[in-house]
Amino acid sequence: MNAVVTAEFSVPGAGELLEVAPGVLWLRMPLPFDLDHINLYILDDIDGWVVVDCGLGNSDTRAVWEKVIASLLDGKPVKKVILTHAHIDHIGAAGWLCQRAEAPLWITAGEQVTAHEYFQVSGDDSDHFAATAKSFLHRLGMNNKQSEGIMGIFTGISTLIHPLPEDTCELQENSVINIGNLEWQVIISEGHSEAHACLYSEALGVLISGDQVLPRISSNVSVRPGKPEANPLLTWLDSLARLKALPADTLVLPAHERPFYGLRARLTGLLDEHHDTLLQVEQACSEPLTVMQLAGLIYKRKLSLFDLLLAGGECLANLNYLLAEKRVQSHLNDAGVLVFSQRP
């Protein structure tokens, strides 16, 4: 299959379940963002259900879950909650659902670490978190007003996650989870988040891809405040290339937008897009510039504060990749802001 083809399912309405493969149900949850929904999947485990991703920790999400639990799960319990990764739209309601259903949480070790960072924003480590984040934003070239606004966003995000269970079960690369009569293989990828888990059923020919492969939009790959020197784009590109080993006719169930076929075509498209952007960034560095100046050149539109954070993190991911390849160089200017330029 040489093109991305949307699977011919109607989109389930709010609080409805749609079977997209035997024993695999699709549930949409609302999100109060530009991207206004997340897809969750519920897997039939014969005497109960396994939930993959949970939605935000807010009242809208909890209301949908209450409806689903009360009327759509045939009176069978949720036995397990699996998270692809710890971004807020996936993990927010997880702690609540685990408690509500008395179900264990399954998550990779890397995502567990990320999850706990949400609680640093307003917890005992809040001063340390604020200092690290502000210094990071300053180095990107943000002014104080932008930086203060983004700190407010961090605080807002941290209110959308329920406390997690103290004990969790660890998802590991290549481990196999038996659900119903099916085996689901865990495939861990890095770059979009610390250790993102996809689930693959060879028997069904289905990949639950989380945010690792989306049909149209490209997942954000950002350098984060706590790891300013990281090179997430390198591991991201490797992760995308590895998924090409899956069969060409795999049905991909993404966390956003619609299920699709054409996994390899989508992966090739994503890899090409990233390499094009890297070239564009390298060329932009013919004039010395800060990360924020680069974001202005690359995104060419007015960015909200949240988009500015994503754009800054993503531009730095491109620059750190080019730094590692010795295609650009960087220094801190007198104001303590990073400046990138092409190597002489």
CB of 211 to Zn ion, least distance (A): 4
Residue 111 sits in the site that holds Zn ion (CB under 5 A): no
- SS3 of residue 193 by DSSP: coil
State the helix-helix crossing angle for 291-299 and 126-140, rounded to 10 degrees: 70
Q: Which residue lies nearer to Zn ion by CB, 89 or 282? A: 89
Burial 283-314 (b: 16+ CB within 10 A, else e): ebbeeebbbbbbbbeeeeeebeeeebbbbbbb
CB of 33 to Zn ion, least distance (A): 12
Burial 151-180 (b: 16+ CB within 10 A, else e): beebeebbebbbebbeebeebeeeeebebb
**Segment interacting with Zn ion (CB under 5 A) among 84-92, 240-248, 256-264, 318-326:** 84-92
- SS3 of residue 204 by DSSP: coil
Contacts with Zn ion by CB under 5 A: the residue count is 2
Q: Which residue lies nearer to Zn ion by CB, 16 or 307? A: 307
CB of 221 to Zn ion, least distance (A): 10
**Segment interacting with Zn ion (CB under 5 A) among 46-54, 132-140, 208-216, 297-305:** 208-216
**Segment interacting with Zn ion (CB under 5 A) among 11-19, 113-121, 140-148, 205-213:** 205-213
Q: Which residue lies nearer to Zn ion by CB, 101 or 105? A: 105
CB of 38 to Zn ion, least distance (A): 9
Q: Which residue lies nearer to Zn ion by CB, 147 or 209? A: 209
**Segment interacting with Zn ion (CB under 5 A) among 81-89, 100-108, 299-307, 335-343:** 81-89
Phi, psi of 212 (to 5 degrees): -70, -40
Measured torsion, CA atoms of residues 313, 240, 55, 104, in degrees rounded to the nearest 10: -120
Residue 211 sits in the site that holds Zn ion (CB under 5 A): yes
Residue 53 sits in the site that holds Zn ion (CB under 5 A): no
**Strands, E, within 56-181: which ranges?**
78-82, 105-108, 169-171, 176-179
Residue 44 sits in the site that holds Zn ion (CB under 5 A): no
Q: How far is CA 234 from the centre of its chain?
A: 16
Residues in the chain: 344
CB of 164 to Zn ion, least distance (A): 17
105, 51 contact by CB (below 8 A): no
CB of 145 to Zn ion, least distance (A): 27
DSSP assignment, residue 159? T
Which H, E and C letters describe 117-144, residue by residue? HHHHCCCCCHHHHHHHHHHHHHHHCCCH
Q: Which residue lies nearer to Zn ion by CB, 234 or 310? A: 310
Residue 190 sits in the site that holds Zn ion (CB under 5 A): no
Q: Which residue lies nearer to Zn ion by CB, 87 or 274? A: 87
Q: Which residue lies nearer to Zn ion by CB, 73 or 94? A: 94
Residue 282 sits in the site that holds Zn ion (CB under 5 A): no
One-character DSSP codes across 324-341:
HTTSEEEEE-TTS-EEEE
CB of 161 to Zn ion, least distance (A): 13
Question: What would the x/- binding string for Zn ion be over residues 87 to 106, using CB under 5 A?
Answer: x-------------------
**Segment interacting with Zn ion (CB under 5 A) among 27-35, 146-154, 198-206, 209-217:** 209-217
Closest residue to bound Zn ion by CB: 87
Q: How far is CA 114 from the centre of its chain?
A: 11
Q: Which residue lies nearer to Zn ion by CB, 99 or 235? A: 235
**Segment interacting with Zn ion (CB under 5 A) among 26-34, 71-79, 86-94, 149-157:** 86-94
Whole-number Å distance between alpha carbons of 174 and 197: 10
State the helix-helix crossing angle for 263-284 and 232-243, rounded to 10 degrees: 150
Rule CB under 5 A: which residues touch Zn ion? 87, 211
